[in-house]
Structure 1
Amino acid sequence: MAAPRDHRVLIPVDVLGGESVPATVIEAFASVPVVLLGYRELPDQTGTDQARDQYGARARAELEELHTAFEDAGCLDVTSRLVFTHDRLQTFERIAVEASCDAVLLLNPAPVLESILVAIRGEVNLEHIAQHLETLLAGTDLTVTFFHVVDDETDRERGTELLDTAVAALADTGVDRGRIDSSLVVDGSPTAAILDAARGHDLLVVGESRPSIRRFIFRDRAKTLAKGTVDPVLVIRGEYLEADDTELTVDDTELPIDGETDKSTADDADGPDNES
């Protein structure tokens, strides 16, 4: 029997760009192991060493303040990473694998956080998604609506069965059935339908649509949804993704936080700033 998963969440924050984590999100994720990724994406012409020397102390202070906010909210498992990078999306993916994160939270403002919309497209990973939701719901009054879009009426029965399976999977984890709802929509444009439905909720949860981390999980529908909604978007990674399967090229510089080893030398080795 496999060991239980921690359902760790990566939360990237542009600490030098004025981005912060809403208090509502901090409270909602207090029961979940969290990896805070303070980052700053740099123009190609700006070296990571230069940015580290110029902005490192300020970025570290901002990240440590955010780290403390999670601890004060009762988060017992929070770690921090700080990076300067030329490709933030690639860095998000790499850190998600390195830190064994099951999900990545793409931040948006969250004045209130009471209801979650979970957009599902198939049976793959439903149990994994349910387990992650159960961890997130622990100690909160959050409600969940599973949402599915079908192309035409001929698919309605199949879609209804899928939603019933998702609801049952979450209820089987011990979540009160009264906190779980479902909704089926017939629409030829799934992304537009999801964005429309998300307006009535406070957090959007989606799964990866690619079978490999190398296909860049944020360059598919999840990225489009994150740009189109005013809600935070939680991207739950497929549990079939393993660190050994990745072949990512990195060009970011990490600063040590919480006693981590400074990996700047190793990580910059393939970056553009070390060209001879």
Structure 2
Amino acid sequence: MNIYPVEAGNFKLDGGAMFGVVPKSLWSRTNPADSNNMIDMAARCLLIENGDRLTLLDTGMGNKQSEKFFGYYYMDHKYDLDSSLNKLGFSRDDITDVFLTHLHFDHSGGAIVYNKEKKIYEPAFAKAKFHTNHNHWKWATEPNEREKASFLKENILPIKESGQLHFIDQTSEFQEREEMDFGILFVDGHTEKMMIPHLEVDGKTFVYMADLLPTAGHIPLPYVMGYDTRPLLTLDEKAKFLDRAATHNYYLILEHDPFHEIITVKHTDKGVRLDKVFTFKELFDN
């Protein structure tokens, strides 16, 4: 199995929203804000190559929204899925599976594009199976008012209409998924049934963190996003996961951290804290 980072375009979000009740004087030490209080965010997708199977984890925002929409997030179009995949020697048509940790627009937007005539939406990966789970799909297609702006119909409904949608059933908190080549941890604090992939590569456990741990600056337990629907549950889920990650030396792949690609954590007198920082280039001979 080989894994590769796929950069889908950096953007910015409000620093206060990203850290909830934590004051700026604390969170700005690790995530400095600009004059508009916006902090830098990555959209680091992950590509898994395993035999004839090529699985993409998350898809970034995509490029079909309006300039006005992207203007809210200071979208940096320096990177996109096509150029990043091409740099690795792949194209969209090579993707066999698209695994969506959850359906918020910054994770699923790149899954759908306009057709050539720009009249209808269609899957960006014509030959791929798209994976989510029943509970999250229902949550996203019947959204609450708080999350409604994050679940854009144009990113979600065309997946089902295409016939390429596949549901992963949850049977336990954590289960190895042979059909996906990795294990999945289901968490509910950020949104209903977000899926956190655990991959075994060369004797190491790599975990794609999605929004359970957006950046290295979110390691302290109270540092929970204002976007989370159930922040106290996130705190509990994060505590259990980080304890396990420090004990078993997991390698954590950070989807939204523009400065840290992969980290490990350790137990300290103050709780679990950052240990080591790695790049993909350092860990893999890609």
TM-score normalised by L of structure 2: 0.30
- Of Structure 1 and Structure 2, the greater helix share is in 1
- Of Structure 1 and Structure 2, the greater strand share is in 2
Q: Whose radius of gyration is greater, 1 or 2?
A: 1
Q: Using CA pairs below 8 Å that are at least 6 residues apart, which structure has the higher relative contact order?
A: 1
TM-score normalised by L of structure 1: 0.31
